[in-house]
Chain A
Amino acid sequence: MRIRAAVSAALASAGILLVGWQSGVHVSDTRSAVAAAATGNQASGTGITDSSGAASSESAASSGTTGNSGTTGSSGAAGASGTSGAPGAAAKAGGTYDGDVVQTRFGTVQVQITVKAGQITDVTALKLTDAEGRSVQISNYAAPVLRDEVLQAQSADVQTVGGATVTSDAYLTSLQAALDAANL
C-alpha cells in the first residue's frame, strides 16, 4: 500500500510539473515575441521626431505593448522637449517633461508627461522594468493602469498596482520628478 501511494504521488507530481513546464514554454514564447517587438520598436523609434507623439504613445500604452516604446522624441506641440531645466512659469503653458531615470532591481524606469494648460494630458513610459520576461509582463500590465490613475488624479499621489509594487514605485517617483520639472 505504501508502494501504491509512493508511485501514485510520484506520477501525479511529475504530471503536474510537466504540465506546468509545457505551459511555461508557451508563455515565454509569446513573451519573448513581445519583448522583441518592444526592442525593435525602441531601435527604430530612437531619434525619430514624432509629430503625433501623444496619440501614438497612447495607443501603444493601451495596447499593452508599451515596454520600451520608441515614442520618445519631442512632440510637435511644444518644442520644449524634456527641458527639465526650463523655468516654471513658461512651462505651465505646456510641453513634455521627462522624469528622472529610476533604477530598480528589475530594470530602469522613466516616464514622460505631456502637459497642456496646466493639465497632465498624457503619461508615456520611456523605460519600464524589463529585467526578465516576468518584469516585462508586469510592466505591460501595470503601466496602463498607472497612466489612467495618474491622468485621473492629475498627480503622482495614486495607489501602487498589486503585484507590481516595485515598478509602480519607480514609475511614480519618476513621474513626481517630471511634475516638479513642469512646476505642476
Chain B
Amino acid sequence: MNTQLLPSPGTGTPMRPTHGSAPVREAGRFAGQHRRRLLRADALTVTAWSSMAASVALWLADGGLTAVSSPAGMVTALGIVAGLAGMDLVLLMLLLAARIPFIDGAVGHDRALEFHRKLGKPSLYLLLAHGLLIAVGYGMAEGLDPVSEAVALWVLVPDMCLAFISLALFIAVVVTSLVAVRRRFPYEFWYAVHLLTYAAVLTSLPHQFSVGGLFAVGTWQRWYWLAICIATGAALLYYRIIQPVRATFRHQLTVERVTSVAPGVVNIEMSGLQLGSLAGNGGRFFIWRFLAPGLWWHPHPFSLSAEPVRTGPDGHGRLRITVRDLGRGSAQLLTLRRGTKVAVEGPYGLFSSAARSKDHVVMIGAGIGITPLRALLETTPFAPGQATVLLRGHSNQELYLGEEILELCRQRGATLFHLTGGRDPGSPDSWLPASEHRAGYALADYVPEIALADVYICGPSRWAGNVLNAARAAGVHEDQLHHERFDW
C-alpha cells in the first residue's frame, strides 16, 4: 500500500529548531557546515597518525637508531618501538571510546567505535611483539633463552610482574571482544571484561616509567608520555563519568508515563528540568539508565522520539522515547513504574542536522528505526517540498508513530510514503515490500532528486545495508549517506 501526501506549501508553519538560527533561504546553506565537519575529520586523522609517528620519534630523538650496534640491540630496539607504538594505539582507542564531543561531532559515535574496534588487534599484536622482542633481545645480550629471560625479568625487576599481568589482561580483553566470542557470551559479560581494559592500561604504566630507560627521570620524553597518558585519563574521566553524572543531576528525569503504542512497543514519557539544553538534537541518541532494581546497570541507547515539551518555568518539561522489546533489557522497560529516576548521558552521534550537507533531505526508516526520524523530521531545517519520508514496515501497525509523522509532514510540507508488506523472499537484496519490488520500483522513483539530498537511514542492519546500496546505486555520494548503527 502506498500513501502519498503531496507537499502542501503554505498550509502550515514549519517548526524552528530550538537551537538553530533562522534558516537562510539560499542554496547550499549546509555547505559550510559540511566543509568544516570534513576538515575536523581530516584533522583527527592527521592527529592520530602524527601521534603514532611521535611515539617512534621519541625513541629516534633519544639516539635510538644510532645506538643499535648488535643483533641483540636490534631486537631490543624493535621491541621498544613496538611497545611505544602499541601504547600509543591503546591511548587512541581509549580516546575513541571516550565519547569526546569533538570526535563524535566529526565522525559520529558509531564510526568512532568502528575505528576503536579496528585498532584492537593491531595494538594487541604490537604489545605482544613488544614483550617477545624484549625478552629475546635482553636474553641475547645476557646469553639467556627468552623464557629464562622473561622469568628473570618477572622475578628480579620491579614493576615487571605488573607488566606481565597487563599483557595477559590485554589478551583477555581483545579475545573476548572479537565478534564470535561476543556472540557466545552475554553482553554483560563482554562489557565487564571490557572494563578490564582500564586495569590493563593501569598495570602497564609503572614499568613504562621505571624500567623503560627512554622515560627516565629528567628526560623530556618522560614529560611527553606523562602528558598524553594523563590527558587520555582526564578525557575518559570527564566525558564518561563527570559529564553524565552532572547531566543526570541537572535534568532530574523521572518516568512520568508508559503508554503502549503497538504490541511490544511503548512510549516512555519523562519529566525533568532544564530540558531546553536537550532540545534540537534530532535523531541523536542518549544513553538511558532506569534506576530501578535489576535495571540500573543496564544502559539503553535510544534517541528522543519527540522534542522536549516545556510545561513549566525553568525549563521544566517532558520528553519521550519510544522503545521496542528487542532484548532482555528492553523487555523490562515495558513494565517501568511511574516515578522511576532516570540517569542520562548524551546526546551522542551524528544522526542530526549537524550531518546535513544538502538542502534536500530524505528520511528512510523501518520498524522501531522510524522513531529517531520522527525527532529529526521535527527539527531539521528544510523548505516545503525539500523533504521526503519513507516508512517501511510489515503492516500499518508497525509504522510506529505513523500518525504523528503524517501530521508533521503535513505541517512542514514533506512528502510521505508508507511502504508496507512482507519482503520478497526471492530477493534478499531488496529493501522494498515484495509487491513494489516486483513492480520494479527503485529509490529514485520515490525521490527523483535523491542524488542531491542528504539521506538518513535507520532500521535493522540488514535492511539498512540494502537501502544504503540502493542509494549508492541512485548516485548518492558517500558523504550524503547518514546511517548509524545502534546494535553495538
User: CB within 8 Å of B: which residues of A?
Assistant: 1, 4-6, 8-10, 12-14, 16-17, 19-21, 23-25, 27-28, 31, 103, 105-106, 131-135, 137-138, 141, 160-166, 169
Contacts and interface: CB of A to CB of B under 8 A. Distances in A.
Nearest to B218: A141
A105 B142 contact: yes
A21 B60 CA distance: 5
Contacts of A28: 63, 66-67
B61 A24 contact: yes
A132 B69 contact: yes
Interface string B153-190: 00011110000000000000000000000000000000
A132 B73 contact: yes
Given A13-B53, A160-B158, A163-B222, A27 B63 contact: yes
B58 interface: yes
Contact of B216 (A4, A6, A103, A163): A163
A99 to B, nearest CB: 18
Interface string B218-250: 110010000000000000000000000000000
Given A9-B49, A105-B142, A161-B217, A24 B56 contact: no
20 contacts: A5-B45, A19-B57, A21-B57, A23-B61, A31-B63, A105-B138, A132-B69, A132-B73, A133-B66, A134-B214, A141-B216, A160-B158, A160-B210, A161-B217, A163-B211, A163-B212, A163-B217, A164-B216, A165-B158, A166-B157
Nearest to A103: B142
Nearest to A12: B50
- Per DSSP, chain B at the interface is helix
Nearest to A6: B45
B2 to A, nearest CB: 38
B96 to A, nearest CB: 16
Given A138-B216, A160-B158, A9 B46 contact: yes
A163 B69 CA distance: 22
B62 A27 contact: yes
Given A131-B73, A165-B157, 19 more contacts: A10-B49, A12-B50, A13-B50, A17-B56, A17-B57, A20-B60, A23-B60, A24-B64, A31-B63, A105-B138, A105-B142, A132-B67, A132-B69, A134-B64, A134-B214, A160-B158, A160-B210, A163-B211, A163-B219
Contacts of B30: none
Contact of A163 (B65, B73, B209): B209
Nearest to B158: A165
B57 A20 contact: yes
B211 A166 contact: yes
Nearest to B215: A163
Nearest to B64: A24
A96 B69 CA distance: 36
B474 interface: no
Q: Among A21, A31, A132, find the residue whose CB has the most chain B CB atoms closer than 10 A.
A: A132
B209 A5 contact: no
Contacts of B145: none
Contacts of B129: none
Given A105-B141, A162-B209, A163-B210, A24 B66 contact: yes
Contacts of B222: 163
Nearest to A31: B63
A4 B46 CA distance: 10
A43 to B, nearest CB: 20
B308 to A, nearest CB: 35
Contacts of A4: 42
